[in-house]
Structure 1
């Protein structure tokens, strides 16, 4: 899928995330994707830092966009493992940039690495993910 196709698909299929202002896929091609996200009040935990589940959602969204940018049809791919390391508190001010890169695209499993960056360029979180790829049965 092209960047425009990926953006339209994500808005149509995941309006609860991509239909809201503050998040968008900036680039997606050849197994690499990046999105930006501006957190709102609903994404914060005490201390006004971005919650862990929010950072995990961003990693998952960027990884999925990276998979969609590859030639294989990954629309039915599903996350089977997500391992995230939170490196520093993520302040609520400023956009977060989430980058993802497919490091192995397989018939059954694909592996993606992701990093979230703060407005100052500091790495906020590092994630590795495994996606189960859809098995397309031949039509008889």
Structure 2
């Protein structure tokens, strides 16, 4: 997939609970092994204490990493997460949009390593740091990274 529009359309079709209409999650950037997604959390995304839940941050990081993969691996639709490590550093209060910024730091033929920072949209403070490994299917081939 070449453009952020194509990637956003694909994600909305294939993952409607996350990227479907009125779900609050959007792809803002998806280019050259990098992606940024934004989530406007609802009450379903909150935990006691009126803060965004850890599983919500993890979901957003994983979905954003997948968007980054789609930006450089033509056939990556079958790519799967093989490892995800997350360190939570601070909370994100209810009412704040959540932003995940991911970058592929090692695009390989079979595995891709991706880092991600999750934060509230109104701050530069990192709420969670995530490192993920994705298994890339042989059909993905031809990585488009210079």
TM range (shorter): over 0.9
* 1:20 positional shift: 4.1
1:124 aligns with 2:136: no
RMSD: 1.0
How big is each residue's C-alpha offset from its partner over 1:75-98, in whole Å with a ceiling of 9 and x where there is no partner?
Answer: 100000000000001111221111
Unpaired stretches in structure 2, ≥5 consecutive residues? 140-146
Give the Cα–Cα distance (whole angstroms) in 1 for the partners of residues 91 and 119 of structure 2.
Answer: 11
Q: What is the SS of the residue equivalent to 1:67? A: helix
Paired residue for 1:76? 78
1:62 pairs with 2:73: no
* Structure-2-length-normalised TM-score: 0.90
Unaligned runs of 5+ in 1: none
Matched, 1:50 2:52: yes
Per the alignment, in what secondary structure is the counterpart of residue 82 of structure 2?
strand
- How do residues 99-110 of structure 1 correspond to structure 2 at under 5 angstroms? 99-110=101-112
User: 1:71 Cα deviation (Å)?
Assistant: 4.2
Tell me the distance in 2 between the aligned counterparts of 1:57 and 1:111: 17
Q: Distance in 1 between matches of 2:113 and 2:37?
A: 18
For 2:116 and 2:101, the matched residues in 1 are separated by 5
Corresponding residue for residue 6 of structure 2 = 5
Partner SS state of residue 111, structure 1: strand
Shift of 1:99: 0.3
Please identify runs of 4+ aligned residues in structure 1 that moved more than 4 A.
none
- Structure with a larger share of its residues in helix: 2
CA distance in 2, matches of 1:43, 1:109: 30
Deviation at 1:135, TM superposition (A): 2.2
* TM-score where L is the length of structure 1: 0.93
Instruction: Report the equivalent of 2:29.
Output: 27
Q: Among 95, 113, 116, which residue is 1:114 paired with?
A: 116
Q: Which residue of 1 aligns with 2:142?
A: none
